[in-house]
Amino acid sequence: MDRSHPSFPVFCSQGRRKMAPTHVLRCCQRGLAWIPVIFIALVVCWSYYAYVVELCLFTIPSILEKVVYLAVFHVSFIMFVWSYWKTIFTRPSTPSKEFCLPKSEKEQYEKEQRPETQQEILKRVATSLPLYTRTGAGAIRYCDRCQVIKPDRCHHCSACDMCVLKMDHHCPWVNNCVGFSNYKFFILFLTYSLVYCLFIAASVLQYFIKFWTLCRRKSAENCPKSDLPESHAKFHVLFLFFVAAMFCISILSLFTYHLWLVGKNRSTIEAFRAPVFRNGPDKNGFSLGFSKNIAQVFGDQKLYWLLPVFTSQGDGFSFPTRLVTVDPEQPTECLQPGGLDKGAVEGSAEQTTPLSESQNRLLGKDYHIEEDHKETHILKSDESEAITISIESES
């Protein structure tokens, strides 16, 4: 074959040597990233064998107790595995094409060296996008790696090498990014794993005590005869209790923390770094009240809350927000109901920004903001129909 033919791919040997180690290293990193998931899978498989076979079949003498334990165990086991599977294999949502720069603006952005001019280009493109958050310096949030304008609550994950919508964190135990598409699955995974460990620890406790006492009296004289079989099952039962209790304690703290985040409608990133709006940072900028915050993640239909099926509200690109003033300690919030004219809020246009149509639909007709540590006063102006809600923190 003639290698000088134009259609034959020609590679630089030096470039090929440089690319090969990088490709191998990347493959090794991807393979090693599955080690925590494989470890969890092995522990779960062993716990199933230890509980079903060694405890229920070989240790528990009562038939009724076996049936009840096996029924409850399998329900919690199925829900735990189902939610864990969905958390792992649900691909994170990424920004759509409308957040990419058009070809002409992209070329102009790449050629331009001055940050001020680059920001002007981004602002022209962002005028048609539902964006309310900015960088700490007040600039448009742009990802040079993915070459997209970041939607609200979107962040770049270095492990996944992509921008993830409503990114919460990258979890090594699921080898996936937890964000808008699988955050509900992650919460349910924590819920059912906690239930799974609690049930195992509670049901194994009495047999753990019996085996532990039996082991301590093994060498004693006149030891009372035990009704438990003398087999290797006691080692599985003893170790099963320790493992279940250990995982239960570690999961409980993480589960409690994420329930608090859901109630506040914050992500882990936003809990450590408050989102910056046009009027400044506000850690409660996306909080709509406890009940609506729960609905943002779990949806409106309570029938599906405990099932690992996607029911979260919104599209991941825009979110309903509270509109705040520059002072985050004593904010004044202005909400624009759908029935008001645009002219009614023109006087406060520089301090607040009206919500988009999709956000108004999510908020619905009820514009109440529930805060445990704040008092809400509703004032109606005679000169306009705008509704102003002033919230003052208690001293």
Residue linked to tokens 């405990």: 306
- Which structural domain, as residue segments, surrounds residue 51? 24-92+183-219+228-304
Pick the catalytic residue: 171, 177, 197, 248? Answer: 171
What the block records as the tokens of 260 is 């608090």
- How does pLDDT run across 194-236, given as a tens digit for each residue? 999 999 999 999 998 887 776 555 544 444 445 555 667 888 9
CB 129 within 8 A of CB 99: yes
CB 366 within 8 A of CB 308: no
Does residue 12 lie within any of the structural domains? no
Among candidate residues 284, 304, 324, the one where a domain is terminated: 304
Tell whether 107 and 48 lie within a shared domain.
no
Tell whether 290 and 209 lie within a shared domain.
yes
CB 87 within 8 A of CB 185: yes
pLDDT at 18 over 50: no
Does residue 344 lie within any of the structural domains? no
- Give the mean pLDDT of 113-140: 93
Write down the mean pLDDT value for the chain: 79
Share of the chain above pLDDT 90, in %: 62
What the block records as the tokens of 359 is 């956000």
Q: How confident is the model at residue 188 (pLDDT cuts 50, 70, 90)?
A: very high
Q: Which carries the bigger pLDDT value, residue 308 or residue 321?
A: 308
pLDDT at 216: 54
Tell whether 45 and 60 lie within a shared domain.
yes
Does residue 296 lie within any of the structural domains? yes
Give the range among 49-53, 55-59, 165-169, 389-393 with minimum mean pLDDT: 389-393
Among candidate residues 140, 155, 174, the one where a domain is terminated: 174
Does residue 8 lie within any of the structural domains? no
Tell whether 201 and 168 lie within a shared domain.
no
3-state SS track over the chain: CCCCCCCCCCCCHHHHHHHHHHHHHHHHHHHHCCHHHHHHHHHHHHHHHHHHHHHHHCCCCCHHHHHHHHHHHHHHHHHHHHHHHHHHHCCCCCCCHHHECCHHHHHHHHHCCCHHHHHHHHHHHHCCCCCCEECCCCCCCEECCCCEECCCCCEEECCCCEEECCCCEEECCCCEEECCCCHHHHHHHHHHHHHHHHHHHHHHHHHHHHHHHHHHCCCCCCCCCCCCCCCCHHHHHHHHHHHHHHHHHHHHHHHHHHHHHHHHCCCHHHHHCCCEECCEECCCCCCCCHHHHHHHHHCCCHHHCCCCCCCCCCCCCCCCCCCCCCCCCCCEEEECCCCCCHHHHHHHCCCCCCCCHHHHHHHCCCCCCCCCCEEEEEEECCCCCCEEEEEEECC
Tell whether 60 and 127 lie within a shared domain.
no
Contact residues for 25 (Cβ-Cβ < 8 A; gap 6+): none
CB 190 within 8 A of CB 120: no
What the block records as the tokens of 382 is 């005679």
Tell whether 42 and 68 lie within a shared domain.
yes
- How does pLDDT run across 75-96, given as a tens digit for each residue? 999 999 999 999 999 999 999 9
Phi-psi region of 364 (alpha: psi -120 to 50; beta: other; left: phi over 0): left
Tell whether 232 and 291 lie within a shared domain.
yes
Give the range among 5-9, 41-45, 146-150, 155-159 with minimum mean pLDDT: 5-9
Q: Choose among 371, 293, 359: nearest CA to 330.
A: 371
Tell whether 122 and 267 lie within a shared domain.
no
Q: CA 187 to CA 263: how far, in whole Å?
A: 12
pLDDT at 29: 85
Q: Choose among 137, 175, 191, 143: nearest CA to 33.
A: 175
Tell whether 198 and 149 lie within a shared domain.
no
Active site residue 163: no
- Give the mean pLDDT of 157-171: 95
pLDDT at 40: 97
**Count of domains for the chain:** 2
Tell whether 290 and 188 lie within a shared domain.
yes
- How does pLDDT run across 269-312, given as a tens digit for each residue? 999 999 999 888 999 999 999 999 999 999 999 999 999 999 99
Does residue 69 lie within any of the structural domains? yes
Does residue 233 lie within any of the structural domains? yes
Does residue 240 lie within any of the structural domains? yes
Tell whether 209 and 299 lie within a shared domain.
yes
- Give the mean pLDDT of 117-130: 93
Does residue 310 lie within any of the structural domains? no
Q: CA 109 to CA 102: how far, in whole Å?
A: 10
pLDDT at 3 over 60: no
Residue linked to tokens 């996936």: 176
| DSSP bridge pairs for 176 | 171
Tell whether 67 and 114 lie within a shared domain.
no
pLDDT at 1: 44
Among candidate residues 253, 279, 304, the one where a domain is terminated: 304
